[in-house]
Amino acid sequence: MRSIQYLASVAAFALVFSLGAFAKETNSGSFDIGQNAKIGRTLLKPGHYKAEWTGPNDALNVKIIEHGKSVATTKGHLKELPTKSPYDAVEFRGDKSPQVDEIDFNNRTEALVLAGS
């Protein structure tokens, strides 16, 4: 009887800790662009996009996705914000051909800073 209890305890313990492997990654976020803008060498039209990133926080590989398809890639890093962003925001640099510089995601304390082309 004790072995059944022990086995059940071990199984429950393993289940609880394995659920972390299936938890949603927070290495992504959605954003909107209201004007033509470049990410890397790719010109994006106004619309709704998703950013996904992998790698260490100071040397990220960033993929921009629209309608489930990758449309741009670039490098970037995460920047710690002093407080949670109250909304999604995209910051641009440049006038003639705006480049996406930073993406702040709603209710998160990290911003995604993109590398220039």
- Domain boundaries defined on the chain: 25-114
For the chain, the 3-state helix, strand and coil shares in percent, each to the nearest 5, are 20, 45, 35
Mind listing the pLDDT tens digit for each residue in 12-62?
444 444 444 444 456 999 999 999 999 989 999 999 999 999 999 899 999
Confidence of residue 4 (pLDDT cuts 50, 70, 90): low
Mind listing the pLDDT tens digit for each residue in 65-102?
999 999 999 999 999 999 999 999 999 998 888 999 99
